Structures are given as structure tokens and as C-alpha cells.
Amino acid sequence: MSMRCVLLALLTAAAAQPEGPRLISANVGIIQVDCCFNDTVVDHGQVVFNLPSKCLQLVCNYGKIIPRFLGDPGRSCEFDGLLYAEGAELAGHCVVMQCTRKGWIPRGDIDDCCKHCSVYDDPHFVTFDGYRYDWHGYCNYSVAQTDRTYNPEAGVFSDFEPCFGGPSCLGRSTFKDHKHTVISLGHSVFNLLVNGDPYAVPLVGAEPVRCSSKVHPVLAWRNGQCTMLLGSSKL
């Protein structure tokens, strides 16, 4: 990336009375209006990239390259910063999603080729390779994760809590799609917390999860009494 980005530094200094003790206050701010893109500097407002098949442009906006979606919003669906035309399928995930006039609609159930595991009730487990067992403990456990660290990039965690005076039951479960998108589900499965903010899963169709006006790269929908989440991590 080029180092020719233009930084505009503002320095304002205000001096108090010329006589007596002098009070100086300085305020330094940096305003970046141009963007660096593909090793060149582009002006604010300039389109740097076009992807007509997805009705998408990338535009320089006060120093940041942002996506701009074109076309009829009713005829396209958004996922992970890209726009898909009506009829297009979101492939490569465990459930095939199709873009319709009403937004994303899941096509079928979890794909047979997709490995899945489950934890349910007073926790019973079925592992990715089909092994069944029970485990009763009170802790926040990692159920699945994308790497072997203690703080994985993406994962599913579940807090087991006491119930029926004996063994443990599933409490709050957390889906970390990536570090900026952490979704948790409690006993009311359609009312999620997205980075701590409440979010209700739509009654029909699937939509990208939003909180505080930010759109996250996770689609959420209802399937019977369950909430389904499909994230960019593919977990």
C-alpha cells in the first residue's frame, strides 16, 4: 500500500491573556480525506472498483473504502458486504441460501456434506463423527472452534448451569463469528444478544443480524422452535 496518502493535520493553539500566566491549549486532529487503493491515492467520492454482477461499487469515503450498493434494493440481498441479485445462491455454507424478492430464504436443511455436531437438553452430545455421550459440569465450555487456541477466531461456547437440583442443563450459548460479531442465545431462542445489544430473529425469511445500525456477516432465521445462524466463519 502506498505511503502517499495525504494526511491533513490541524493544529489549533489558543493563548490566553497576553499578561499574567499564559495558558496554552493545543488540539491536534487528523482528517484523512483521500483513500489509498491499489497503490494509488484516490479522492473522496471517487469510485475505485465496480462489480456490476453484484450491483456493487467500492467508493472512497473520507479516507475509507466503503461498498455502495446499486440497483433496486428489493431485488438484491446483502451478505458480508456483497450484494447478490435476485435468484442468486449463497453457496459454500452448510445451508444453501437463495436471494428472493423477499430477501434471503434458506433452501432445505443442513447439507449432508456438512459436518455437524450437537449438544442438547441436560447436556447430551453428538460429536462431529457421530459419537454420543453425556457430560454434566458447570462451566462455560467450548463446543466447537476453528483453531486450537484459548481465544479462537470463531467458535461456539455453552454455559452449563444447574437444573432440576441435579445434573446440568444448557444455559446461555454463544456464537463468535469473529471478534467483532459475538451472538448469544439464552432460554428465549429468538431473542439474541449481538455484541450485548438485543436483536429479535425475524418471523419470516433470513436477514443479516444488525445491532446499533451495524450489519453483521451473519444471517439469522427461524426453523420451527430453533434459531439458525449462518456466519461468514462458516461454523
Ligand X SMILES: *[C@@H]1O[C@H](CO)[C@@H](O)[C@H](O)[C@H]1NC(C)=O
Q: Which stretch binds ligand X (CB under 6 A): 17-25, 79-87, 107-115, 174-182?
A: 174-182
104 lies in the site for ligand X, by CB under 6 A: no
Q: Which residue's CB is nearer to ligand X, number 38 or number 191?
A: 38
Q: Is 195 one of the binding residues for ligand X (CB under 6 A)?
A: no
50 sits near ligand X (criterion: CB under 6 A): no
* DSSP assignment string, 158-205: EEEEE-TTSSEEEEEEEEEEETTEEEEE-SSTTEEEETTEEEEPPSSS
Round to whole Å and give the CA distance between 101 and 205. Answer: 11
Q: Is 172 in the site for ligand X (CB under 6 A)?
A: yes
C-beta closer to ligand X: residue 49 or 62: 49
The string of DSSP letters for 88-113 reads -EE-SSSSEEEEETTEEEEESSS-TT
What are the Cα distances from residue 6, in Å, to 1, 33, 39, 192?
A: 13, 8, 13, 42
In angstroms, how far is the first alpha carbon of the chain from the final one?
Answer: 32
Shortest Cβ distance from residue 145 to ligand X (Å)? 9
Least separation in angstroms between CB 166 and ligand X:
21
What is the residue type of 11? L
Residue 178 in the binding site for ligand X (CB under 6 A): no
Residues 6+ apart with CB under 8 A from 131: 125
140 near ligand X, judged by CB under 6 A: yes
**159 binds ligand X, rule: CB under 6 A:** yes
Residue 174 binds ligand X, judged by CB under 6 A:
yes
Q: Cα separation of 171 and 216, whole Å?
A: 24
Q: What is the SS3 assignment for 47?
A: strand
Asked if 38 touches ligand X (CB under 6 A), the answer is: yes
Smaller CB separation from ligand X, 85 or 193? 193
Under the criterion CB under 6 A, does residue 118 sit at the interface with ligand X?
Answer: no
Binding site for ligand X (CB under 6 A): 38, 49, 140, 157, 159, 172, 174, 176, 182
